[in-house]
Structure 1
Amino acid sequence: MRAAGLGALADLGFRGLDNDVCDPVIVTGFHASRTHKLAAGQKDANRVLAGGRAPVGHGFAHLKNWRILAKLRIDPARATQLLRALLVLTNLEVNR
């Protein structure tokens, strides 16, 4: 991912996967513990991260309602077109 210039927003389950602190590819939130409380800035950063991840999670949740995706056996390029079409239909249905 780093060579392609891509990055990912991830939850705390992906902590430690990316060891490059100066140039992270996988951006995770800050973790609090019983002895280490989060500062106000860290809480704000977690809130912004969650706001960026939420629409993607909601999009995948809507796409899972389409049962055709469970039996998808086509070329990945065609699958991308199908997913885009299903996402448009889902957005139309949600906004209606």
Structure 2
Amino acid sequence: MPIERHPCVYILASERYGTLYIGVTSDLTKRVWQHRKGVTGGFASRHKVHRLVYFEQFDDMDRAIAREKQLKNWRREWKINPINGANAPWPDLAVSLD
């Protein structure tokens, strides 16, 4: 099954160590495209947060939503730790989704 069809939590950044946005989706490729085109509006659009720097896949949406809520409640430094652990230089991971 393609990666974009798995429920997942994702973190977008405006730049390395910049503004962060945490979301959940079942179609990661489409959702990142929506953020980049400004279709979503809101926080991510206003702050130009569109670089995919981290994501986690889940077997079901309920688990993904629970993880999203957990991450959103974390302190900023805690949110940065998984990014640095999996994607230390913070390149845009969306290019590898195509």
Q: TM-score scaled to structure 1, two decimals?
A: 0.27
Higher share in helix: 1
Which protein, 1 or 2, shows the higher relative CO under an 8 Å CA cutoff with sep ≥ 6? 2
- Judging by fraction of residues, say which structure has more strand: 2
